[in-house]
Structure 1
Amino acid sequence: MENLPKKVRSKKLSTRVDLTAMVSVSFLLIIFFMVTIELSKPKAVDLSLPDKDPICDRWNGGCGTENRVMTILLGNDNKLISYTGMLEIPLVPPREMDYGKNGIRQELFIRNKSMLEYSAQLGKPGRGITVIIKPSKECNYKNLVDILDEMSIAKIDTYAIVNEFSPEETKLLASN
């Protein structure tokens, strides 16, 4: 038996499949979908509204609090009309104002200061005015941003943007 050539045997491959990479990819996909679902959810701010007063069936904290409510109507061509109380019987009648330091800002400061003093006398300190901002469809976006800036500058804590107009308010904006 001399030098006989050895038979070369083929190497048998393992029949096991290594799934380590597949597990990593699946975890990455799961994380990706979880993040995208979380980011796609709409973000909303919680809004707490006062209850209707059962005696007089009105909003805004009940009966006799019209002096706390100031309404600002925004129209086209930088038109701004404000009034205090209910439009039918306003405490401060509707009047057209300008944006800025000598216009609506001054009015907001005066109304808020007097309301803070009044509420402090009643034993409820820190309750300033509530401003209802009503931008019309003709109002431009800049005016809405300007009035929100005025709320911040005047330190008005409670305000709401409402897009519902009464017929009287629509007539008021259309006049002049």
Structure 2
Amino acid sequence: MGMDCVPKNNVKPFRVNWIGWTFLGQVLALSGADISKMSGTNNGGLVDAETARAWAKALRGLLARKDALRLKIAVVPHRAFRGKRAEVPVVEFTRAPAEERIYMKLKDGAVPSILDQVKSFLGVDILFGYCRPTKRNIKIVELDKETRDFIEEFARFCERSGGFEQW
């Protein structure tokens, strides 16, 4: 189960499981993109060509950042995920001293702290007791090549799709 993105143009559909779809939604939100057309159900919701191109641009912009606003991964102990950990996309904005987290401004306001970002992403899992993220058990790591390639693959699809339906 997951999301099938069926393009308007003659390109290969983009298929992803629910964890990956949620991950991409979080990355888009952190990039400042408008995700109001992103569906959480397989209802055929349309992402128009303009929005799809905007998503591609926002994703690539976030991946290209080299400064303190770059995308990272929060690794959180989790009883149900592979390797018994969850990987959550986050934006970490730091200033001296390095441990001090502050808010950053995007289009629609402040991005919450790392802990709040993780709690938002894992909300249901926290409710059912699969994980209990705290400041002490969250480890922040750089994006690996596989994750960067996954995000880039979706950006490429968005750019070439001509818009797409979500099934």
With normalisation by structure 1, the TM-score equals 0.27
Larger % of strand: which?
A: 2
> Is the radius of gyration larger for structure 1 or structure 2?
1
With normalisation by structure 2, the TM-score equals 0.28
